[in-house]
Amino acid sequence: MTSMTAIRGARIFDGSTWHDGKALLVEGDRFACIVAPEEVPTDAQNVDYDGQWIVPGFIDLQVNGGGGAQFGDVTSLEAIRTITSAHARFGTTKLLPTLITDTPETTALALEAGRAARAARVPGYLGLHLEGPHLSIARKGAHDPALIRPMEKTDLERLLRFRDGVGVLLTTLAPENVTLEQVKALTDAGVLVSIGHTDTDAETAQAYFAAGATMVTHLFNAMSPLTHREPGLVGAALATPQVFAGLIADGYHVDPIAMGIALRGKVGPAKIFLVTDAMSPIGTDMTGLKLNGRQIFRRDGRLLLADGTLAGADIDMLGCVQKAVRLLGLSVEEALRMASLYPAEAVRLGESHGRIEKGFVADFVALSPSLEHIATWIDGLPTTSR
């Protein structure tokens, strides 16, 4: 018989509506319902979050590392456990460990680690994001240009072989190094394709969207910009209804004015969602890290190469939510949806994740009304608390 837990005393945001004076029932790893306190079963285990908020768990589709582990430097089941555990402390209940441009051998190891993490049901693990190596050297960002290369038959076959084993499989590609036929083969097989790290024009970007790409990686960063005569990838992403876009809302990667323009200009139903692009120092006091043999410095909320190039972000998802409210003037409700519902929809899990609703996976976060972390629950179980 599955146990029932009653979350009492909190104000509950289900993803669209606030519920006051109610209790949230969790049965096993799923949400059961939201009820009046007197309707809570007498045999339920009661957990009190008096005066706090209960909100849907955060979903991060671009996480390079955390807790001192950098995915790629260490591509193992234990590295994934370390990363998911570190980000759970900041409200992230599901994430995609992200491998940036690396060798074929390291990519193969990352995919094997993802398959092992899924088999082991690692709390917080959702799947993998391969950001490269099939990118544009002109828009490499912090990626090692010596490792960037065209997609070959063996690369495509590897992705197709692991598609069903790792959970969600997302890959960031650039039209400069991947053909339309390859994108169609990937998307026909269920691999999610995001366009990024590219100098492509808007017309070419739209052709890749038509071939099946449904996302854009960290909007504005490492891509052709929107100008008045050539809208670039930014313009194509904002104008294409079915395309989602990730946004790093740390205040450094994208100016708040540009973020606001994008949010107002995005044609839907696809939305802009928050990503952290977090690196290994999250949840630690590390002062820097090595990336493909290059030193990255942690300074004033940023991660920088020696030449000043941003190299990932030094922010967690709760920090992104807080900045979306403070810097952009978004409602708390919309900022929370950008961290939960919209990324769930982007990876086609909007019918099971991203909301507090009967039958959905019981991932949720307890926050204070000032948006400070209190506790994280993953798959119906508490994992962290203040």
Query: pLDDT per residue over 282-295, tens digit each?
Result: 999 888 888 777 89
32, 115, 129: which is closest to 72 by C-alpha? Answer: 129
Confidence of residue 184 (pLDDT cuts 50, 70, 90): very high
**221: helix, strand or coil:** coil
Confidence of residue 248 (pLDDT cuts 50, 70, 90): very high
The domain limits of the chain are 4-55+356-385, 58-346
For 7-36, what is the mean pLDDT?
97
Give the sheet arrangement for strand 127-131, strand by strand: 58-63, 92-100, 127-131, 168-173, 192-195, 215-216, 244-248, 272-275
For 181-205, what is the mean pLDDT?
98
300 φψ region: left (φ > 0), alpha (ψ -120 to 50), beta (else): left
**Mean of all residue pLDDT scores within the chain:** 95
Lowest mean pLDDT among 1-15, 178-192, 355-369: 1-15
Q: First CA to last CA across the chain, in angstroms?
A: 31
**82: helix, strand or coil:** helix
What is the per-residue pLDDT across 295-306, written as a single tens digit (0 to 9) for each? 999 988 898 988
- The DSSP call for residue 328 is H
What is the per-residue pLDDT across 143-164, written as a single tens digit (0 to 9) for each? 999 999 999 999 999 999 999 9
382, 386, 366: which is closest to 51 by C-alpha? Answer: 366
Q: In terms of pTM, does the model score above 0.75?
A: yes
The pLDDT value recorded for residue 1 is: 54
Determine the Cα–Cα distance for residues 132 and 151; give it in Å rounded to an integer. 10
Q: Which of 60, 250, 277, 316 is catalytic?
A: 277
Q: Which CATH class is domain 4-55+356-385?
A: mainly beta
Domains 4-55+356-385 and 58-346 share a fold: no
The pLDDT value recorded for residue 292 is: 73
**What are the tokens at 16?**
């669209």
Kindly report the length of the chain: 386
- Assess whether pLDDT exceeds 60 at residue 386: no
Is 14 a known active-site residue?
A: no
CB 98, CB 315: distance < 8 Å: no
- Domain 58-346 adopts which CATH fold? TIM Barrel (3.20.20)
Strand partners, 295: 290
Strand partners, 35: 23
269, 374, 368, 333: which is closest to 51 by C-alpha? Answer: 368
The pLDDT value recorded for residue 385 is: 55
Strand partners, 12: 19, 54
What is the per-residue pLDDT across 207-220, written as a single tens digit (0 to 9) for each? 999 999 999 999 99
**208: helix, strand or coil:** helix
- Assess whether pLDDT exceeds 90 at residue 91: yes
- The DSSP call for residue 367 is E
